[in-house]
Amino acid sequence: MNDKILNSNPETLVFDIETKVEKGRRNILDDEVKIFAYYSYKYRCKGQTDDLHEMAEIVNDHKIVVGFNINEYDIPILEHNGVSFNYKIKVDLYKIITKRATQIKTNKGILNNLLERKSLDFITKILDLVDEETGKMKLSKGWFYNWNPDELDLINEYADRDVDITKKLYEWLELYFWEFRGFLNEKDVRNKSYAKDSLTKVAVKAVCKALDWDEIYNWNVDLTAQGPKIGGGFTAFPAGEKYVNKKIHCLDFNSLYTWIMIQCNLFGRHKGRPEDTTRPLFTGTDELKFKGAYYADTLSGVGKLQTQWYEDRLELKKIKDPKEYMLKIFLNILYGALDSPWYVNLYDKIAANDCTMIGRQFTIHARRMLAEIGYEVIYTDTDSVYFIDGFDDNEKLMKSKDTIMTYIKSLVPFPSHHFDMDDEEAKDPIKSMYFFKSKKPDTKDNPYDEEDKKNKQLGLMKKNYIYIKTSGKHVVKNLGMVKKSTSKLSKKIFNEKLIPLIKETTECKFKRKLITSFIMEELDKDLEIVALRKDVKPYSFYKDTSPNSLPGQISKRYGEGVHSIIVNNKFGAGKSKKYCLVEEFKEMGMRKNDLVLDNIYNELGYFTNGNRSKSLMDFV
């Protein structure tokens, strides 16, 4: 065990409970607590008990309790049985993963993109903390309904294993977010704020500590209320559907919103009338328009802190110090505090709106100037401009970029040499880029200029594309292939069949019969690859409001929980389409021609010539 973990957790208890489910579905009022399994950092030992009084003593002997999804089930049912968690610091690992998965980097990618489900077993396997042998034991729900005395040893082993796995995940998360501790006060460190609070809140706490501010939160704000919507980044319509064997570059603003907040002093807004101050104000120009007025003589305390953090991050990055990534998160996430009324210290709706407004104008200026110089701009998205380098001259490209940045920085009161545009593709230019037709016309977005108005008529989607680099590496943006809900079959065909074909042929649309042959090939290997994962609540949740919904029908037939479902035309829940368990599909002797594969053809539709097929048997 890591010494840091051991020494920082003297009052911590990791626990898990096993219950007898009395009525077929989990219910804290009816279920019976049978096993309380735990690991105590205080005594450096693990154990089990089935005695409620002993459970209460163990919990009472620790200040911090850790578990997976304990806020929703374990703690409520224990409290219902007289075990008090008053004044305990509760660390729910499920909540941490839910809040922070988008900011957790693994050797396989961003964690949020990898989580097909948020179960303890799946998460710990993705993080390589366990494998099939050391991961969660597989027991059917029937074990927890019956509690056969002859099989209690197996359930005890199951509970011990769960605590071991939970402890591994807790220690991994502790170490991952360890460097945040240095930015927080002692109380927040003791309360595990660095690990369990939202990252925006951790960043605000870090700002308040650095500037010696008292933290102020608006406890009365309704965060679900829909206020005036702030405009997002500038995203243009693609200028064409297909670019092959070109030299495509992408100029990308580094930390766009961070440097807008700093250079325009957005945390230093004058909140009175302009005539009420003798200090010089930055109110914009014809080339850069926004609503607020910002002090132009001295950078705000937050702006100075952001600058210091950025410079510290550059130094830490040179020596590969993990604290660098923590600073990157802080810098990128502070815009969220600027736009949230919960964070009284930093909230400013006008400044938040101005940030995105200025960002759109910076990007539009860059796009316009590249076109004026003679580059063919093919796509623009938030902080990035994609264009074809017809000059094939890197020196000219860098001079052009410098000209653009000099102009943009001439528009702000606190220009920084750190703010720049990076040529993301300088060493490995994009050679082919593909955009795709929208399923339905875009009626929401208004074109930004005449060029964008013309491009909108092409009917191509924003934020959905594929590009192939000179080295052969590829990047996929959306197109459904990164969605967790997309079927394993579609992802397998896309990654193992279509991407190699796109690279080989420079085409990205293929005949339906070819797509069908790929589907048939995979189904011949494993019919279960088409199974859908459906996580449903107890039927009582749907009974009065949506009993005929698909989740309601599945829950009524198969009960609460996660089910592997095969869509077919013969048997199961549902009306026109049937949804049965994988086991039932096998037991009924059903075959490929009993499958309904609308979703597979729909998911692969962007890469299929002509209309989408709705039935596998259309091509058999």
Q: What is the pLDDT of residues 513-540, one digit of tens each?
A: 999 999 999 999 988 898 887 888 878 8
Given this model, what pLDDT does residue 168 score? 96
Q: What does the pLDDT average to over 400-428?
A: 95
Q: Which residues contact 366 (CB under 8 A, 6 or more apart)?
A: 251, 253, 385, 404, 408, 421
Given this model, what pLDDT does residue 617 score? 40
Per-residue pLDDT band at 282 (split at 50, 70, 90): very high
CB atoms within 10 A of CB 356: 21
Residues in the chain: 620
Mean pLDDT of the chain: 90
Q: What percent of the chain has pLDDT over 70?
A: 93
Residues 16-51 pLDDT 10s:
999 887 655 677 787 889 999 999 999 999 999 999
Lowest mean pLDDT: which of 65-69, 108-112, 432-436?
108-112
Per-residue pLDDT band at 2 (split at 50, 70, 90): low
**pLDDT exceeds 70 at position 96:** yes
Asked if 3-176 and 242-454 have one fold, the answer is no
Per-residue pLDDT band at 231 (split at 50, 70, 90): confident
CATH classification of 3-176 is 3.30.420.10, yes or no? yes
Residues 153-199 pLDDT 10s:
888 898 999 999 999 999 999 999 999 999 999 999 999 999 999 99
Q: What does the pLDDT average to over 238-251?
A: 96
Candidates 135, 122, 129; CA nearest to 162 is 135
Per-residue pLDDT band at 261 (split at 50, 70, 90): very high
The interaxial angle of helices 323-338 and 256-263, nearest 10 deg, is 70
Task: Select the CATH number that applies to the domain covering 242-454 from these four: 3.90.1600.10, 3.40.50.150, 2.40.30.20, 3.60.15.10.
Answer: 3.90.1600.10
Residues 460-478 pLDDT 10s:
999 999 999 999 999 999 9
**CB 252, CB 376: distance < 8 Å:** no
The residue that leads in pLDDT, 508 or 142, is: 508
Q: Please give the angle made by the CA atoms of 265, 268 and 272, to the nearest 5 degrees.
A: 130
Lowest mean pLDDT: which of 51-60, 119-128, 380-389, 475-484?
475-484
CA distance 256 to 356: 10
Domain ranges of the chain: 3-176, 242-454, 480-620
Given this model, what pLDDT does residue 306 score? 98
Residue 141: helix, strand or coil by DSSP? Answer: coil
Residues 322-354 pLDDT 10s:
889 999 999 999 999 999 999 999 999 999 999
CA distance 185 to 42: 23
Residues 105-156 pLDDT 10s:
898 888 988 887 788 999 999 999 999 888 887 765 555 556 666 667 888 8
Per-residue pLDDT band at 226 (split at 50, 70, 90): low
> CB-side exposure of 146: number of CA atoms within 13 Å?
10
- Which burial class, exposed, middle or buried, applies to 572 when counting CB atoms under 10 A from its CB (0-12, 13-18, 19+)? buried
Given this model, what pLDDT does residue 10 score? 85
Given this model, what pLDDT does residue 527 score? 85
The residue that leads in pLDDT, 334 or 593, is: 334
Residues 560-570 pLDDT 10s:
777 889 999 99
514-552 burial, b for 16+ CB within 10 Å, e for fewer?
Answer: bbbebbeebbeeebebbbeebebebbeebeeeeeeebbb
Sign of CA dihedral 39, 130, 145, 150: negative
Q: What does the pLDDT average to over 51-61?
A: 97
